[in-house]
Structure 1
Amino acid sequence: MRCKSIYWLAVVMCFIAIGCDNTDDGSSVDPITIYEKVNGNWGLTNLKMVDEVAKANKIEPSEENLSTYFNYEDFKIKFNVDEENNPTSYEVAGNVPPLFAAKGYWKLSSDFQPTNPGNPVMIYLYSDAQKTQKTDELGLTSVPGKNGEMEIKLSRVSGGTPFVSYVFKLNAIN
């Protein structure tokens, strides 16, 4: 009799253990896009001009810090998205010489971080809301994370070869 009681107790315990193993993964949500991370106001912390020809030929100096020249310490940029996190407009603020159009529209080459680290996500800048008249391209070399920092790179190219780049290090402004 005692053996049967232990047997039934073991069977009941197995059913209880199986019944309690109901994993709840929560509700499904859309993945976080780069648009959500880039959206908002950004202030310049550093602007570096890189002479790509000098850098390729190992000629020093190949870099120059422009942050304190030409009022670039006042540089701010705002990337806007709509309520569905689709890109809309952007605007540069501050009395700074323009390296690209001061306002317009934007979109990314990819909604998500690529798995190939050699190809950065590109920020395409447009003069029209339909995004048919591209004015420039910025490489998103450092995607914003929890630290609130982003880096974008504007390269000037001649004959398919970059000759000068501008690297903007930005911090999120709340």
Structure 2
Amino acid sequence: MKCKIMYVLAIGLCLLSFGCNEIDDGDYVAPITIYEKVNGDWSLMSLKMVDEFAKANAIEPSEENLSTLFNYPDFKINFNVDTNNQPTSYEVSGNVPPLFAPKGYWKLSTDFQLTDGTATKILLYSDAQKTQKTDELLIKSVPGNNEQMEIQLVRTSGGAAFVSYVFKLKAIN
């Protein structure tokens, strides 16, 4: 009997000691959005034009490097956000042929990276109210520790993609 009481007492003390621990997970911090990662100045590392028809039909060459042509080494783009990390305006600088509107307003199709592998879209607008969409850029790789981002501009005709431009960008600190 004495052994049972000691056993129950030992289990009770164990439960009591675990029950008194309060886990401190720290203060709430809002999750990091893609806006925080895309915000800022970006310079061109490379620009590739992809013939989507040739690529789909295994016709070579299907890609062309445009990085050194048409002043593209001067290409820079700035994505601005306000103090609440909400998108405002964007602007392309450099004396380059425009593949999309060189300035305007932007927002993302989603604030966070999707888990199904679907690319987040950068939606470009001509007005601050974001009602007149001019283009879409697909974020092919989200900026991370390496401060690089890859975006793609796809041109379609009749619902079929015929050419795309892949911009590999590096953050300007």
2:124 maps to which residue?
Answer: 125
1:73 maps to which residue?
Answer: 73
Quote the RMSD (CA, aligned, Å): 2.0
CA distance in 2, matches of 1:14, 1:56: 64
CA deviations 1:68-111 (Å, max 9, x no partner) are 00110110000000000110000001111100011000001111
1:99 maps to which residue?
Answer: 99
2:85 maps to which residue?
Answer: 85
Question: What's the offset of the Cα at 1:30?
Answer: 1.1
SS, match of residue 125 in structure 1: strand
1:48 correspondence with 2:52: no
CA distance in 1, matches of 2:136, 2:15: 62
Question: What's the offset of the Cα at 1:28?
Answer: 1.0
CA deviations 1:21-64 (Å, max 9, x no partner) are 22101111111111111000111001000000100110000000
CA distance in 2, matches of 1:124, 1:32: 20
CA distance in 2, matches of 1:109, 1:84: 17
Residues 24-43 of structure 1 aligned to structure 2 (within 5 Å): 24-43=24-43
Instruction: List 4+ stretches of structure 1 deviating above 2 A.
Output: 9-19
Matching residue's letter, 2:138:
G
**Percent identity (aligned):** 69
Quickly say closer, same or farther: Cα 1:69–1:24, change in 2 above 3 A. Answer: same
SS, match of residue 165 in structure 1: strand
CA deviations 1:96-144 (Å, max 9, x no partner) are 1100011000001111111111x21111100000001111111111111
Question: What's the offset of the Cα at 1:14?
Answer: 6.2
1:61 correspondence with 2:76: no
CA distance in 2, matches of 1:164, 1:17: 62
Corresponding pairs, count = 171
Extract unaligned runs of 5+ from structure 1. Answer: none
2:169 maps to which residue?
Answer: 170
CA distance in 1, matches of 2:121, 2:88: 16
Extract unaligned runs of 5+ from structure 2. Answer: none
Question: What's the offset of the Cα at 1:18?
Answer: 4.2
2:115 maps to which residue?
Answer: 115
CA distance in 2, matches of 1:44, 1:67: 8
Matching residue's letter, 2:109:
S
Quickly say closer, same or farther: Cα 1:139–1:14, change in 2 above 3 A. Answer: closer
SS, match of residue 131 in structure 1: coil
